[in-house]
Chains A and B, each alone.
Chain A
Amino acid sequence: MDPKIDVRTESSSMPSSIRTKEGDQWNSKPVSYKMYSKSAQIRLVSSHPEVYEPCDDSFALVDALLADRTNLLEHHPSLCMEVGCGSGYVITSLAIMLGQEVAGVHYIATDINPHAVQVTSETLKAHGVHAEVISTDIASGLERRLSGIVDVMVVNPPYVPTPEDEVGRDGITSAWAGGENGRRVIDRILPIADKLLSDRGWLYMVMLAANNPSQICLAMREKGYASRIIVQRSTEEESLHVVKFWRDSDIQVGAREPTTTSRTTSTTVMESLFSQFPRLAFWRNDNNSY
């Protein structure tokens, strides 16, 4: 390391200030986050006791977006939306990673928790980026008019399997409580996403293995979406996936004819899904499971 430069880091690889020595004099210059950051900085993320702080799932989602950043830039989205913005970490990161290079992108963020919209607003401001923040349940009040015009949607939903009565509670519980199989809120979000997404719309969603991702992908396939796992993080207990969905014109939407061909199609779909979700491969042996 160059002895004349002393770099202070507050997290992995993002310097917060650079000291340079001129003669006997050390001078400290704060490093503009815009120079180094492709995502939000934790130290600039606002917080509140009732608001979900950025965690492994938030980082996984942002990592997935960063991994897909080149595609996103080429895609030139006009409207990007986050459902369930929490601390604002993800929408802020998205605005930072796209904002510098793609002019004319606009961001919308919603959350059902009134503290979260406030915190998100503060986080956005601290990073010098803007998103329209709305306090609402998923996209209630926006659905009619935003129909078919959202180009990118990102969601880190409340996916934890919990008792049903924990779903929809006020405060921070709404950040994780997902009811049976953790699917209660996910299953409400998906049809709304389908309605809002444009023809070239992309959806990035975080889900657990416990949410039955292959079933989700199959249901989305029936609506005409292809899917791909972008990031997968596994621990001994659980496996986190960030899945990207997009409309694929090769996929036939809707009516299935009661012939043997449809069974072959669904078999092919299941095969391709199992290859993406190897932990579920044991189902392959059960002929009656689908």
Chain B
Amino acid sequence: MRLLTHNMLSCNIKGVTNGFPLRLEVEKFVEKEVDFSAEFLRNIFPKIEWKALVDASRSMGYSQLPDEADSSMLDSDDFLKKFHHALLELHLEEGVLICPETGRRFPVNKGIPNMLLHEDEV
């Protein structure tokens, strides 16, 4: 699971209003090289919740992202490379995503997050 995906996941339990971002419990992660596309990064940047990305990347041991970011930084190659690395190249293989409101644990196995709910949560 890339951090791009993590940035798009929120707790889907019925009635939860504060289910984003999910807290990361990292058991195993890998770094995988991904083709760089400045165009993609510039397109996706406005949709990214920056703090969630920063916190998530730190939990995977990457602390190169600035605490805050604005679109003017997209002109900087250096920034784009760091953004690219955090967003696309850090993969959580095994771990847990935790709902900030309910504490519900969503497992991540072999890089696949399991967001399937039990009957009483729907």
Partner-B contacts on A (CB < 8 A): 78, 103-106, 108, 112, 114, 117-118, 121, 130, 132-137, 140-146, 149
- Smallest distance from the beta carbon of A195 to chain B beta carbons, Å? 13
Question: B4 near A141 (CB under 8 angstroms)?
Answer: no
Partner-A contacts on B (CB < 8 A): 1-2, 4-5, 7-12, 20, 32, 34-35, 37, 39-41, 43-44, 47, 49, 88, 106, 110-117
Question: A132 near B35 (CB under 8 angstroms)?
Answer: no
* Complex: A112 Cα to B12 Cα, angstroms: 14
Instruction: Identify the interface centre among B8, B35, B44, B106: most chain A CB within 10 Å of its CB.
Output: B8
**What 16 additional pairs, Cβ within 8 angstroms, besides A132-B4, A140-B12?**
A78-B40, A78-B43, A78-B44, A103-B35, A104-B35, A104-B39, A104-B41, A106-B4, A106-B88, A112-B116, A118-B112, A134-B5, A141-B9, A145-B8, A145-B10, A145-B47
Given the known interface contacts A118-B112, A132-B5, A146-B8, the answer about A137 and B35 at a Cβ–Cβ threshold of 8 Å is no
Chain A residues within 8 Å of B7, by CB: 145
Partner of B117, one of A117, A133, A140: A140
Q: From A109, which residue of chain B is reached at the shortest CB distance? A: B112
* Complex: A142 Cα to B10 Cα, angstroms: 6
Question: B40 near A133 (CB under 8 angstroms)?
Answer: no
- Smallest distance from the beta carbon of B25 to chain A beta carbons, Å? 17
Chain B residues within 8 Å of A149, by CB: 44, 47
- Contact count A vs B, C-beta below 8 Å: 78
Q: From A146, which residue of chain B is reached at the shortest CB distance? A: B8
- Smallest distance from the beta carbon of A238 to chain B beta carbons, Å? 31
- Smallest distance from the beta carbon of A110 to chain B beta carbons, Å? 9
* Complex: A148 Cα to B46 Cα, angstroms: 12
Given the known interface contacts A78-B43, A121-B110, the answer about A137 and B117 at a Cβ–Cβ threshold of 8 Å is yes
Chain B residues within 8 Å of A140, by CB: 12, 115, 117
Question: B9 near A114 (CB under 8 angstroms)?
Answer: no
Question: B9 near A145 (CB under 8 angstroms)?
Answer: yes
- Smallest distance from the beta carbon of B110 to chain A beta carbons, Å? 7
Question: A141 near B10 (CB under 8 angstroms)?
Answer: yes
Question: B110 near A141 (CB under 8 angstroms)?
Answer: no
Partner of A141, one of B37, B41, B115: B115
Question: B112 near A134 (CB under 8 angstroms)?
Answer: yes
Q: List 26 A-B contacts (CB under 8 A).
A: A78-B44, A103-B35, A104-B37, A104-B40, A104-B41, A106-B40, A106-B88, A112-B116, A118-B110, A118-B112, A121-B110, A130-B32, A132-B4, A134-B112, A134-B113, A134-B115, A135-B114, A135-B115, A136-B116, A141-B9, A141-B115, A144-B20, A145-B9, A145-B10, A145-B49, A149-B44
Question: B9 near A142 (CB under 8 angstroms)?
Answer: yes
